[in-house]
Amino acid sequence: MNRNISCTVNSKSMTWQIDIRMSLADVLREHGYTSVKEGCGVGECGACAVLIDDVAVDSCLYLAVWADGRNIRTTEGESKEGKLSPIQQAYLDTGSVQCGFCTPGLIMASTSFVEQHKGQKVSREQIRKGHAGNLCRCTGYDGIVRAVEQCIDAEKQ
Amino acid sequence: MFDIDSYHKADTVDEAIALLSQNPDAVPIAGGTDVLVRLHGHNPDYRHLVDIHDIAELKNINMEPDGTIVIGSGITFTELAQSPLVSINIPVLAEGGSSIGGPQVRNVATIGGNISNGAPSADAAPPLLVLNAEVELKGPEGVRLLPLHDFYQGPGQVDRKSGEIMTCLRIGSADYKGWSGHYYKYAMRGAMDIATIGCAAACKIDGDRVTGIRLAFGVAGPTPLRCWRTEEKAQGHVVDQTLLDLVSGSVLGDLRPRDSWRASKDFREQIITTLSERVLKEALNRNGVSIP
Ligand SMILES: Cc1cc2nc3c(=O)[nH]c(=O)nc-3n(C[C@H](O)[C@H](O)[C@H](O)COP(=O)(O)OP(=O)(O)OC[C@H]3O[C@@H](n4cnc5c(N)ncnc54)[C@H](O)[C@@H]3O)c2cc1C
Ligand code: FES
Ligand code: FES
């Protein structure tokens, strides 16, 4: 049940032969994008979140064939020339990484949230709702909410 | 790897119908947030898939010249929430849709999948029921249209004949012009949870009387249910506290909640009674009438 798909991953063009039974998470991990974590495999935890055409999706519940022709972003591609993205830096500044398993998925959820709310005033409640699809068992979320706030405030300046 | 035995991707509705007709075991997959979870659990009923994920004709929201709002079955809950047509005319549906899962789920889960899976907890169902929505299905025999409440047949069972695809949901202008509505999802967690009870109300007012009143509940019976008898009793009633008392005293007669691991029947009945009053009150409020 093999098929070829072409997509871009972190701005690089890829053509991969995939088995149609695979999730996008399986395929990305197989090709070395191991920032994509599989926690639950059923859409509950967000550890596998990636951006597809800038929209956050859980790659464990996304058939790899659907990625054909699309533009995928994973956490690997967010830092440019050794420099962390503003979100990544904010997570670091607020101490939002403990065991780190949830972090890549959360970074993508936050990245999409900040891109969508550019220049807007957002409440903590909106930030929490916007991250409801990502579980973190370590940090208690407070730092994460502050990291997002910090990025949105910086965007406004 | 998912346990998929056969997989065919359709580019058009007609192609999907042809593929489904060729294999009686095949089921459509749209957003996959139900189908893939079931396959993850090795459910054998979803091993033959017809992929309708990328069918463009299922992804439109528009208004026909007579005011009918047509929502393609492939519209995601994020797209629904972002549609001005929806937020201006039928905000109660956006309210229901926005209560589903988390952002990543809403970015892929479709309204067609939410209704077609027959789940009693579908958060789009109570809003669509109070909007008197009709379901449009297309199959080998052609197109048919039926009221949503008739589409639901039992737990997990809907009136989808073999080879059929749900193409869209239709809401006539008489079912939203002048109406106001509200949906409330009672769940144990603030997000990412299945409803313990979902409640939608819609109303229309003339002077001091209700000229239209509709109530629907999720997880209060084998399918999402309208409260027909209560609605009949309340029709034409003066808008005051006695209307709310009448409704909350009557709704349980229309519903069949039961025990589950999520909540007991007694607890559900309590929530239903309380929500019927509270949700209707908010719907009335949105129509400019506030009951103290
Ligand atoms: C983490 C998580 C949280 C969730 N939270 C909620 C929630 O809060 N509230 C809620 O209501 N649901 C929730 N769900 C369930 C699910 O996301 C929704 O029911 C969703 O709308 C299903 O749509 P889909 O496109 O993903 O369906 P799919 O999985 O693609 O399909 C679902 C069913 O519908 C059929 N089908 C799909 N499209 C059509 C069509 N056009 N014509 C005919 N048949 C069709 C399929 O064959 C299948 O039987 C959740 C799911 C997950 C994974
Ligand atoms: S692994 Fe995909 S959501 Fe948990
Ligand atoms: S840092 Fe450990 S789960 Fe979030």
Residue ranges covered by each domain of chain A: 2-75, 86-156
Contact status of B59 with chain A (Cβ, < 8 Å): no
Give me the residue spans of the domains in chain B.
6-45, 57-174, 190-286
Give me the mean pLDDT over the B167-186 stretch. Answer: 98
**Residue B192 CA to ligand 3 centre (angstroms):** 18
Give me the mean pLDDT over the B23-38 stretch. Answer: 97
The pLDDT of residue A157: 61
Say whether B190-286 and B57-174 share the same fold: no
DSSP A84: P
**Residue A141 CA to ligand 2 centre (angstroms):** 18
H, E, C per residue of B180-224: EEEEEEECCCCCCCCCCEEEEEEEEEECCEEEEEEEEEECCCCCC
Q: In sequence order, which residues have a C-beta less than 8 Å from that of residue A40 and are 6 or more positions away?
A: A47, A60
State which residue of chain A sits closest to B52, comparing Cα positions. Answer: A66
Q: Which residues of chain A have pLDDT under 50?
A: none
Question: How confident is the model over B45-78, as pLDDT tens digits?
Answer: 999 999 999 999 999 999 999 999 999 999 999 9
Question: How confident is the model over B130-154, as pLDDT tens digits?
Answer: 999 999 999 999 999 999 999 999 9
Contact status of A14 with chain B (Cβ, < 8 Å): no
**Residue A92 CA to ligand 2 centre (angstroms):** 23
Percent composition of chain B: helix, strand, coil (DSSP 3-state, to 5): 35, 25, 40
Q: Domain B190-286: which CATH class?
A: alpha beta
- Whether residue B256 is predicted with pLDDT greater than 80 in this model: the reply is yes
Chain A residues with beta carbon closer than 8 angstroms to that of B11: none
What CATH fold (topology level) applies to the domain A86-156?
DNA polymerase; domain 1 (1.10.150)
The pLDDT of residue B129: 98
Q: Residues B142, B143, B149, B151: is their CA dihedral positive or negative?
A: positive
The pLDDT of residue B292: 86
Contact status of A26 with chain B (Cβ, < 8 Å): yes
Has the ipTM of the complex gone over 0.90? yes
Distance separating alpha carbons of residues B141 and B242, to the nearest angstrom: 50
Asked if CATH classification 3.90.1150.10 holds for the domain at A2-75, the reply, yes or no, is: no
For chain B, give the mean pLDDT: 97
Distance separating alpha carbons of residues A25 and B182, to the nearest angstrom: 38
B103–A1 CB contact, under 8 Å: no
A contact residues 114-143, partner B, Cβ 8 Å cutoff: 129-134
CATH architecture group of domain B57-174: 2-Layer Sandwich (3.30)
Contact status of A109 with chain B (Cβ, < 8 Å): yes
Distance separating alpha carbons of residues A43 and A144, to the nearest angstrom: 20
Within 10 Å of residue A38's Cβ, how many Cβ atoms?
15
The pLDDT of residue A156: 67
Chain B residues with beta carbon closer than 8 angstroms to that of A130: 103
State what percent of residues in chain B have pLDDT above 90. Answer: 97
